[in-house]
Structure 1
């Protein structure tokens, strides 16, 4: 998943003459690279706003790659903003929507009955599920058609002089096992990127051309 940043160099050609034209590949590559850097920062900032508490790992999954002036003569000069493969695996559902099916047997979805970390995820991930199942009052199974990790009822204290208990709480679902999860598009990765490119590329190309003209004098 990526956004390519390209630009023609007509403006640069009009402002450069003679030896200055040798600076065109440098100027174009610099302008495209700096635009990509700006777009990456905008994407990361908007991800935090549009998604529910994304982790630093997720946010840092947005990267930029600069333009190489050697590609100028080949007609393929561009920079790009892209998602790292690991983050792209799950972010694509936030970008495009759709049905997510697990690589394994199920998707583990924590409930409000279990402690979550500051990002709304199950603290400790799969290791946390193993630790939950290691407790005496938990088990893994299907109750009333709902598969997951369950906590057994906590027995009440025995009443004085009685043989019973003062009630007991019911089973608690800690982690549900889902065969698939439906997603609606929430993160406008492409729209944000395209708007940011339009906003920044003109200014960045102007600055790059000015720098190239100064260095050519």
Structure 2
């Protein structure tokens, strides 16, 4: 009765009807009502799929911004289109450039759509249930690193202000190791060739670093190979099958025939 046509380049799924086949099986009144019924059914399916895609977007991405949430739009079917009647659910062009990496995978680089000018996420010690960036976690470690960086800068300035006559005890009291009491800190930098936020090994009074390695908390790169994350075809196919049924077609045709009487 109805078909789904995919266009991966545009992230579009369209729906049309087996118009001639349906028309030949209907009586005169039903044939007159058919354009309205077909348009109604196609548009309900299209807008239903759009809602499903928006809900799925919120699940897959951690707190998606307005740009991502508003990706999906509908081209409505019109009764006047007759046998060429067609409804489509698609991503807006800018969002499609970004979502293509999440749906089909592929190499993504700094500056690509949706990435901005900064390095791209490749690893996190804490992720969402779908493997994406946990923004609360990233915000937390970013603030920790900023706080430590500013505190170290302040301590350096205070040590310098002591002047050449300061005692070792006075200087030691203004060292980060003393102030932090040896607790592991957080910093942004490159370790072992990997850029990101790192947790320092814990350090004790009078001892070397207690751990052998710094711990990576959040890693970034200028280019990454994305794995498919967003099951676009699965969401579309499931809702399409639920909406485009003989029963729903019969109900849409019944309402259209009532409208003619």
Q: Taking structure 2 as the reference length, what is the TM-score of the superposition? A: 0.60
* Pair 1:140 & 2:152 matched: no
Compared CA separation, residues 53 and 63, structure 1 to 2 (3 A): closer
* Correspondence 1:200 to 2:243: yes
| Distance verdict in 2 for CA 1:22–1:70, change over 3 Å | same
Contact 2:198 2:217 (C-alpha < 8 Å) held by counterparts:
yes
User: For residues 3-152 of structure 1, what are the structure 2 equivalents within 5 Å?
Assistant: 3-10=13-20, 11-12=22-23, 14-17=25-28, 21-40=31-50, 47=56, 53-55=60-62, 57=64, 63=72, 65=74, 67-69=76-78, 71-72=80-81, 76-83=84-91, 88-103=96-111, 104-112=117-125, 121-124=133-136, 130-136=142-148, 137-152=185-200
Stretch moving more, 183-192 or 140-149? 183-192
Structure 1 CA distance, aligned partners of 2:106 and 2:195? 22
Please tell me the root mean square deviation across aligned C-alpha atoms, in Å: 3.8
Instruction: Give the superposition deviation at 1:32.
Output: 0.6
Report what 2:255 is aligned to: 211
SS in 1 for 2:14: strand
Q: Work out the CA distance in 1 between the residues paired with 2:235 and 2:109.
A: 27
Aligned residue-pair number: 204
CA distance in 2, matches of 1:55, 1:138: 23
Q: Which has the larger radius of gyration?
A: 2
User: SS where residue 17 of structure 2 aligns?
Assistant: coil
Q: Offset at 1:28?
A: 1.6
Alpha-carbon separation, structure 1, partners of 2:24 and 2:144: 66
Structure with bigger helix share is 2
Query: Runs of 5+ in structure 2 lacking a partner?
Result: 1-10, 112-116, 149-184
Distance 1:146 1:140 in 2: 10
Residue 233 of structure 2, aligned match among 186, 190, 202: 190
Aligned pairs (5 A) from 1:164-175: 164-165=206-207, 168-169=210-211, 170-175=213-218
TM-score by length of 1: 0.69
Q: Which has the higher contact order (CA 8 A, sep 6+)?
A: 1
